[in-house]
Amino acid sequence: MSHVPSIGGAIARKLQEDPYWKPFFDGFPPVRQWLASEKPDVAVVIYNDHGLNFFLDKMPTFAVGAAPEYRSTDEGWGIPTMPSFPGEQELSWHLIESLVGENFDITTCQEMVVDHAFTLPMALLWPDQKWPVKVVPVCINTVQFPLPSAARCYALGEAVGRAVRSWNSDARVLIMGTGGLSHQLDGERAGFINKDFDLRFLESLQHDPTWATNYSIKELVRQTGTQGVELVMWLAARAALGERVKKVHGNYHIPISNTASGVLALQTV
């Protein structure tokens, strides 16, 4: 799902029924109903950090949280902070060991704060902010070039899925990918949105999940905008689910703060 910072302001001002915001927020009740039925115990959240943990001088390609809890902090957007998120350290360390065992060079974070890319999707799924799940953050660099390729992000997601399935636990695990869809916040193409590409990408996640891996990062930026490249988090989350999925619910809406925004819920079959 999308994680545009202005969503946090809309939540704080209770604008869910405002004509501008309603088509976006209306996309989430069916997903909440599904989650209430499925009752996940853990959420593995694949997202990108916007400067709270990593900045341009130190930017890991992939990082995994292994902290007992993750605090929400003020980013300067005016988004209210949220209750801290309890970490699932056992799965974190199992995931870290599995990824390193599959030759992924990751940064292990035993202390970590989380920003809107993490907190807003969680608040959209559980508006009361009483988190019923423990969490494992998985961070992908989409900020500082060179970025990992779409194919490499897909491979990371596959490895995450293998690690989750090999975890010796009966816990039910939700995989979340946040960011995207097409948008560009600055430069000559500020406000750029590519609806046709977005819809093709959303369809591909159901029936042809490796479709976007045929594009280089530079081509994805051309197709979706500088920040639209965040769709690699959706791609990694889809890869973790395995080959066969069924669509539970989807919603696509433009614009939200000059951004194409969406949610897509898929279940393994």
Does 240 map to a domain? yes
Does 155 map to a domain? yes
Number of domains in the chain: 1
Does 124 map to a domain? yes
Q: How high is the pLDDT of residue 42?
A: 98
Catalytic site residue from 94, 116, 207, 249: 116
SS3 230: helix
Provide block-wise average pLDDT over 10 residues at a time, the chain (269 residues).
90 94 96 98 96 89 98 82 96 98 97 95 97 98 95 98 98 96 89 95 97 97 92 97 96 89 95
CATH number, position 104: 3.40.830.10
Q: How far apart are CA 228 and CA 189, in angstroms?
A: 12
Does 143 map to a domain? yes
Does 87 map to a domain? yes
Is 3 annotated in the active site? no
Does 195 map to a domain? yes
Length of the chain: 269
Catalytic site residue from 94, 183, 207, 249: 183
SS3 203: helix
pTM: 0.96
Is 116 annotated in the active site? yes
Q: Is omega for the bond preceding 121 within 30 degrees of 0, making it cis?
A: no
Does 1 map to a domain? no
Does 21 map to a domain? yes
SS3 86: strand
Task: Supply the range of the domain harboring residue 247.
Answer: 6-268
Radius of gyration of the chain, Cα coordinates, nearest whole angstrom: 17
